[in-house]
């Protein structure tokens, strides 16, 4: 399939717009391979290849998540450009999957470049904030959209325009064993994603649920969705049994009488803050991370609270300090912060140090909850269910992934902000006292481990082709292994990868290389 220059420009612009959402606007998950791959395939007239490449790359990078400030190989751009190359090569998913890793590493470097450039924007915004030129500071913050779009558009265009013919010629010149070896590697690579997921969850304590999920998939052949629902039922049952006799009040705290009547911020002010919070990471950078994004979100509210310019300037500058948190849980901190600012603006004894300390104290736990619950658990479960359907050619797979993630994004931001502002610090203390968060994480871990156990059966494919004659009877090694335990090799491979990842922090690159070597060598020597 030949891609002309105009098509390359439009395609690259579309890819860059999708990619920009990751940091620039909303964090909607629309750039994840499981959703963006089929979308791109639909545009290029090959939905099936888009479904397969998107689902495969999603599984390959499933546990590779940007936790905290880390910038790992980028799954999003790997899935998008991999899909384009696979379709350009004549509908060969293995081409896109094989190129996913180098593309992901390249995108990793580009994102690091954008993070560095954004430091310049933040320093320019510092001066604007000191002059109380809030519109200029806002424009500088939103310039991060242009930065992320540019660093994604240029290399995508170069790859699409100049790389498609090269890829097609390269593929046509490859021997059959090489292409078959890439397919074998593509079947092994998801084991790394599964191992990364297990590493992020409390596998040592809850390993039995992982085993249950594996057994349900391998012997009863239950689909991932059924196992996820079963896991949810088990988690709720355990929570109910554990709560028996525990009469601690788990209801939400009540606001102190009289305080809400005096609140200066209106619902409209909070709604404006809510919409602005979707741009909280637009100018993310290595120096202060999401500081300017936090400041951008609360600017109108602070302007409402402080009529005096000096007080407003002090508050504005205060909220351009270092800030880093998961975007879904950031709004709870914004809500609590605005509650404190409201009290301070009314003359209550709330110092600026108290507000800064509260933000810093909430960053760690709420960031951990966001990473472990929203990224590592919920996104993974929906991705697994969606990928399972997409690999079978079902276009509902991407929809099943994206709808719950979009709802989680909106609901967590909205209620985090509203309850954070209404109940202030009481909300956080109440949640901590009633152990709600720990129970929530425990339930999510149970469901996540059961789903991961089933995913190994469904998504990790490795088999041996060795056979020999013994006493006149042909012995097939794979049949022998299956008689011991179906799915034994994928299980062993995943657990070994888990051990390696725990022992060696930088092992992921070597494991990916190992998968390609095993796949290619196994096919070349006829072992796999």
Q: From CA 73, how far away is CA 111, in angstroms rounded?
A: 10
Backbone angles phi, psi at 70, to 5 degrees: -70, 150
474: enclosing H helix or E strand = strand 473-476
Q: From CA 503, how far away is CA 495, in angstroms rounded?
A: 12
467: enclosing H helix or E strand = strand 467-470
Residues in the chain: 528
Residue whose tokens read 């300017």: 292
Strand 473-476 versus strand 467-470 pairing type: antiparallel
Backbone angles phi, psi at 474, to 5 degrees: -80, 125
Q: What is the mean pLDDT of each run of 10 residues along the chain (528 residues)?
A: 79 90 87 90 88 84 57 74 81 72 71 83 90 94 94 83 64 75 78 77 87 91 81 84 60 50 83 95 85 94 92 90 86 91 86 79 73 75 83 89 93 92 70 63 78 81 80 79 88 92 79 85 84
Q: pLDDT at position 135, please?
A: 94
Count how many Cα atoms sit within 13 Å of the Cα of residue 422 in the half-sphere of its side chain: 11
CB 54 within 8 Å of CB 33: yes
Q: HEC states along 308-321?
A: CHHHHHHHHHHCCC
Q: pLDDT at position 427, please?
A: 63
Residue whose tokens read 């799915």: 487
Work out the end-to-end distance of the chain between its first and last CA atoms, rounded to an integer number of angstroms: 31
**In DSSP terms, which residues pair with 473 in a beta bridge?**
470
Residue whose tokens read 């910038």: 71
Q: HEC states along 87-114?
A: HHCCCCHHHHHHHHHHHHHHHHHHHHHH
CB 280 within 8 Å of CB 312: no
Using alpha carbons, list the distances in angstroms from residue 383 to 122, 198, 294, 375, 391: 35, 15, 29, 11, 12
Q: pLDDT at position 259, please?
A: 47
């Amino acid at each position: 399939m030949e891609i002309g220059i105009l098509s390359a420009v439009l395609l690259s612009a579309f890819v860059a717009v999708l990619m920009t959402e990751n940091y620039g606007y909303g964090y909607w998950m629309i750039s994840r391979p499981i959703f963006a791959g089929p979308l791109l395939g639909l545009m290029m007239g090959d939905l099936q290849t888009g479904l397969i490449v998107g689902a495969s790359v999603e599984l390959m990078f499933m546990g590779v998540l940007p936790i905290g400030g880390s910038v790992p190989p980028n799954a999003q751009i790997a899935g998008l450009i991999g899909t384009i190359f696979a379709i350009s090569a004549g509908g060969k998913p293995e081409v896109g999957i094989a190129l996913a890793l180098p593309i992901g590493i390249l995108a990793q470097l580009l994102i690091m470049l954008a993070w560095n450039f954004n430091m310049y924007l933040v320093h320019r915004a510092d001066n604007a904030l000191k002059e109380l030129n809030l519109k200029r500071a806002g424009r500088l913050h939103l310039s991060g959209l242009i930065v992320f779009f540019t660093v994604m558009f240029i290399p995508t265009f170069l790859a699409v325009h100049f790389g498609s013919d090269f890829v097609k010629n390269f593929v046509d010149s490859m021997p059959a064993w090489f292409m078959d070896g890439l397919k074998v590697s593509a079947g092994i690579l998801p084991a790394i994603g599964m191992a990364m997921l297990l590493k992020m969850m409390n596998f040592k304590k809850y390993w039995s649920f992982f085993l249950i999920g594996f057994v349900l998939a391998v012997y009863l052949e239950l689909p991932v969705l059924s196992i996820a629902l079963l896991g949810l039922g088990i988690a709720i049952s355990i929570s109910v049994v554990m709560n028996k006799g525990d009469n601690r009040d788990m209801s939400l705290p009540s606001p102190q009488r009289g305080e809400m009547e005096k609140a200066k911020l209106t619902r409209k002010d909070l709604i404006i803050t809510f919409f602005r919070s979707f741009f909280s990471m637009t100018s993310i950078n290595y120096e202060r991370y999401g500081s300017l994004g936090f400041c951008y979100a609360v600017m109108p509210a602070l302007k409402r609270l402080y009529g005096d310019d000096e007080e407003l300037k002090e508050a504005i500058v205060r909220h351009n300090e270092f800030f880093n948190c998961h975007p879904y849980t950031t709004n709870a901190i914004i809500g609590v912060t605005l509650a404190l600012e409201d009290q301070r603006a009314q003359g209550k004894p709330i110092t600026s140090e108290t507000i800064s300390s509260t933000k810093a104290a909430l960053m760690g736990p709420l960031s951990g909850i966001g990473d472990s619950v929203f990224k590592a658990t919920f996104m993974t479960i929906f991705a697994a269910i969606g990928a399972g359907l997409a690999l079978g050619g079902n276009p509902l797979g991407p929809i099943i992934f994206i709808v719950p993630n979009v709802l989680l994004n909106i609901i967590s931001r909205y209620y985090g902000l509203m309850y954070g502002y209404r109940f202030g610090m009481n909300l956080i203390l109440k949640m901590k006292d009633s152990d709600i968060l720990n129970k929530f994480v425990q339930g999510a871990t149970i469901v996540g481990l059961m789903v991961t156990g089933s995913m190994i059966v469904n998504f990790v494919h490795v088999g041996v082709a060795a056979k020999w004659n013994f006493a006149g009877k042909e012995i097939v090694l794979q049949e022998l292994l299956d008689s011991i335990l179906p799915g034994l090799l994928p299980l062993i491979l995943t657990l070994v990868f888990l051990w390696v990842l725990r022992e060696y922090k930088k092992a992921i690159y070597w494991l990916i290389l190992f998968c390609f070597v095993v796949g290619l060598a196994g096919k070349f020597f006829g072992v796999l």
